[in-house]
Amino acid sequence: MNHFLLQPSHRFLKLKEFTQKLIKKCCSGDRVIDLLFHFPVSIQNRSGNIYDFSDKDKLTVVIRITDHKAPHHRASPYKVTGQTADGNIITIVYFNYHAAFIRKSLPLDGIFMVSGNAHRTTEGIQITHPDVIAPPSMLKYYIGAEPVYPLVARLTNRTLQYAINSLLKIMPEIPDWIPEEFINKYELATFTKAIKTIHSPKTSADILASNPARKRIAIDELLTSQIRLRQIRESMSKQQTVPFFPTNAIIQHLHLPFELTDDQLSCLEDIKRDFASPKPMNRLIQGDVGAGKTVVSFISMLIALENNSQATLLAPTEILAIQHFNTIKKMAENLKLNIDIMLSSNRKFRSQQIERLKKGETQILIGTHAILEHGIEFKNLGLIVIDEQHRFGVLQRLTLIKKCRYPNILTMSATPIPRTLLLGCYGDLDVSTMKCKPHGRKPIETVVISSSKIDNLIQKLKTINSKIYWVCPVIEESEDLMDINTRSEYLNKNFSPKDVFILHGKMKSKEKDNIINRFKNGEFKVLVSTTVIEVGVDIHDANVIVIEHAERFGLAQLHQLRGRVGRGNEASYCVLLYHYPLSTIGKQRLQLMKSTNDGFLLSEEDLKLRGAGDILGKEQSGFNALRFSDFSHNHRLIQMAEEISHDIELNSESVKFLCEIFSKLNDDVVA
């Protein structure tokens, strides 16, 4: 019976194919569990008391239709009058209507239950565009609290609620994977009861993350994360490893055009100690933007090469992979190394690349998810470097470990991760921190400006001799957000049209690379972009970044974007352009950004302001496993999940089932 949750929902729902597609899109999947994991975000009260209802409620009443009033002009509303059993007059108002359809739906003398947004007027009570018209016998089902779900276009709340309730009615009792002793100890609901309770909220408090039913699902989610961390640790511990020692056979020929900072040297000492241990390295380099993590990872790769092993660097985007490839190739100019890059978009020489890897001819491979594909094998992979660690799932790390003879893992994050998140998401990773910037770097000056003063800002920007990033939150035209097309058209009128180009994530890789290279070569002055430039773009003479709707971004993402400038030795500026209305949290973010360049401080403040689920940016956060959790308030849940994880069998059927239930929330699918 457990597999009920994993079956396609359409097997149990008698809905049209188009509606099923809408539900699948809305719930990010078509499994039964995908629908049941689509939780309500608020409640809507339907009041049946005609004498005491709030304008925020939806009024639900039984009426007899007494009159139809068709307007003389199409711009006027169509009105239907009805009367309750105790004589109250109800007027139903339609602004967008088909008169024949209304007359057919609500015939004279017909008795119906109607429900919708209601308010009192001088003419009595009006219900505007009722969302429910049903037989009077349905009245009892429409009184009280109703869950409100996130929706996609053309899908109604009523349809989704019907689908979810239909599944809940036939949902069997699921055998629990949390041992009974912990359910009793922590007074937890069973999984089945928690799911049913979540979809039957009675008050606004039932929607909060602190609700006991939601806490239960959060614990299950955290427990899944802890189980996967155990799988990684066990997988690494089972594999053979040998110590690596620097021989200087290669490193002595490395000539860097700068001195390493104290933090870089300290980090390298940590890595050398890890290499010398008989246990596999599992270290995270936490470095603020521009702290020089790539140099440290490259020197670590050279140590692996000196011990007759190969090294690979995995990046989340092609832009970032190409950036690393160019940087490392430049640093390795006189080392005579075989360095290759593997991208999903370029398969022209894939068979030759695979052959060189198997033979060990390729010493360093840099690439994207393409490296994870089946058939990509190394002769002697000894070091895995993962950049922007938070963007890769546990399964992806496990996949790379299986390709590695000596599974030493060095991960990097330019977004400082609060200690609470490290414990919850990455377990017992060893952590090295890099805060020092390379010598000669100047602090970035951050200014906050209202969008009403944009003309003054543009006049100043026209006088400076620098490349400029201009970041907008969206690509397409939006009612309340500035999009890149509208902004670029405006900038074209102030700068030369040849000086303004746009860049966004929907472009093909070659097109993006071409625009970035032209920007780097000075062919134009202003790059209007989405947050696609957040990582992987390193242009030393781009010294100004304007971030539009800065109040809408989180601190961590604002800090990442700010890190695109200040990469040379010139003075750099970050302009935070805000739009009204400005929320209290938005104002706090802008003030914090202006007051400090310390990414570690900002990440802690971001955790307080937003919670962990969104700390690394919408849809790009590797903490997708935090869909039902908020570490800023639920540190206790992490401890509970960790305790439970040590008391269950990793290979038990219930644990496998738990992992499969959560498998589509992110990339962390357990094989």
Q: What is the pLDDT of residues 477-502, one digit of tens each?
A: 777 788 898 999 999 888 887 889 99
**Both 453 and 582 in a single domain?**
yes
In which band, very low, low, confident or very high, does the pLDDT at 612 lie, cut at 50, 70 and 90?
Answer: very low
Closest CA to 62 of 100, 99, 94, 88: 88
Whole-number Å distance between alpha carbons of 508 and 29: 26
What is the pLDDT of the chain when averaged over all its residues?
A: 84
pLDDT band at residue 390 under the 50/70/90 scheme: low
Please check the confidence at residue 389 and state whether its pLDDT lies above 70.
Answer: no
Of 50, 49, 16, nearest in space to 154 by CA: 16
Residue 503 clears pLDDT 50, i.e. is over it? yes
- pLDDT for residue 236: 65
Long-range contacts of 173-180 (CB under 8 A, 24+ apart): 174/1, 174/2, 174/5, 175/2, 175/654, 176/654, 177/220, 177/223, 177/648, 177/652, 177/654, 177/655, 177/657, 177/658, 178/219, 178/220, 178/223, 178/644, 178/648, 179/644, 179/647, 179/648
pLDDT tens for 341-372 read: 998 887 788 899 999 999 999 999 999 888 88
Report pLDDT for 665. 47
Evaluate if residue 618 carries a pLDDT over 60.
no
Has residue 427 got a pLDDT over 80? no
Quick one: 468 and 407 in the same domain?
no
Write down the pLDDT at residue 516: 87
CA dist 583 to 208, 551, 590, 633, Å? 21, 8, 11, 22
Q: Are residues 430 and 452 in the same domain?
A: no
Tokens of 53: 């209802």
Spell out the SS3 assignment of 17-67. Answer: HHHHHHHHHHCCCCEHHHHHCCCCCEEEEEECCCCCCCCCCEEEEEEEEEE
Same domain, 421 and 304: yes
**Over the stretch 193-214, which tens digit does the pLDDT of each residue have?**
999 999 999 988 898 888 899 9
654: in domain: no
- 337: in domain: yes
Q: Does residue 303 share a domain with residue 273? A: yes
Domain assignment present for residue 574? The answer is yes
Lowest-confidence segment of 36-50, 290-304, 623-637 by average pLDDT: 623-637
pLDDT at 290 over 80: no
Instruction: With respect to residue 282, please indicate whether it lies within any of the assigned structural domains.
Output: yes
Q: Is the per-residue pLDDT at 301 higher than 90? A: yes
Residues 397 and 462 occupy one common structural domain: no
Question: Which of these, 414, 394, 379, 233, lies nearest to 304 by C-alpha position?
Answer: 379
Q: What's the average model confidence in pLDDT over 425-434?
A: 72
Q: Point out the domain boundary residue: 367, 399, 434.
A: 434
The pLDDT assigned to 92 comes to: 96
pLDDT at 602: 77
Mean pLDDT, rounded, for 138-167: 90
Mean pLDDT of 116-133: 89
> Which helix (DSSP H) or strand (DSSP E) does residue 189 occupy?
none
327 versus 236: the higher-pLDDT residue is 327
542 and 581 part of one domain: yes
Last residue of some domain: 148, 171, 193?
148
Q: How much is the average pLDDT of 96-123? A: 91
Is 50 part of any domain?
Answer: yes
Using alpha carbons, select from 415, 449, 412 the residue that is nearest to residue 431: 412
Q: Where are the alpha helices (DSSP H) in 454-544?
A: 454-463, 484-494, 509-520
- State residue 239's pLDDT score: 65
295: confidence class by pLDDT, cuts 50, 70, 90:
very high
130: tokens are 């009722």
**496 shares a domain with 426:** no
Assess if residue 212 is contained within a domain: no
Distinct helix (H) and strand (E) counts, the chain: 21, 20
Check whether 274 has a pLDDT greater than 90: yes
Check the CA dihedral 471-473-477-478 and report its sign: negative
Is the predicted pLDDT of residue 656 greater than 80, yes or no?
yes
Same domain? 456 vs 348 = no
| CA nearest neighbour of 464 among 405, 509, 526, 515 | 526
| pLDDT at site 613 | 37
Closest CA relative to residue 4, chosen from 40, 39, 34: 34
Query: What is the span of the domain harbouring residue 481?
Result: 444-596
Give a yes or no: residue 238 inside a domain.
no
- What pLDDT shows up at residue 396? 67
Give the mean model confidence (pLDDT) for residues 631-645: 74
DSSP letter string, 102-164: HHHHS-TT-EEEEEEEEEEETTEEEEEEEEEEE-GGGGGGGSEEEEE----TT--HHHHHHHH
421 and 449, same domain (yes or no): no
- Under the banding of pLDDT at 50, 70 and 90, the label for residue 328 is very high
Question: Is residue 20 predicted with pLDDT exceeding 90?
Answer: yes
**More confident call, 552 vs 454:** 454
* Domain end residue (candidates: 128, 148, 168): 148
Question: Which one has a higher pLDDT value, 71 or 345?
Answer: 71
Residue 671: which pLDDT band, with cuts at 50, 70 and 90? very low
Span of 52-56, 138-142, 155-159, 431-435 with lowest mean pLDDT = 52-56
Please answer whether residues 303 and 297 qualify as being in contact, where contact means their C-beta atoms are separated by less than 8 angstroms: no
Residue 614 has pLDDT above 80, yes or no: no
The number of folded domains in the chain is 3
Q: 414 and 452: one domain?
A: no
Please say whether the beta carbons of 124 and 143 come within 8 A.
no
Contact assessment for residue 419 and residue 291, using Cβ atoms and an 8 Å cutoff: no
CATH number at residue 132: 2.40.50.140
**Residue 461, domain CATH:** 3.40.50.300
The residue with greater pLDDT, 607 or 233, is 233
Residue 648 has pLDDT above 50, yes or no: yes
20 by Cβ neighbours in 10 Å (0-12 / 13-18 / 19+) ranks as middle
- 531 falls within a domain: yes
User: Could you tell me if 590 and 464 lie in one domain?
Assistant: yes
pLDDT at 17 exceeding the cut of 50: yes
Residue 394: per-residue pLDDT: 57
- For residues 410 and 383, the answer to whether their CB atoms sit within 8 Å is yes
Measured CA to CA, the distance from residue 530 to residue 547 in angstroms comes to 10
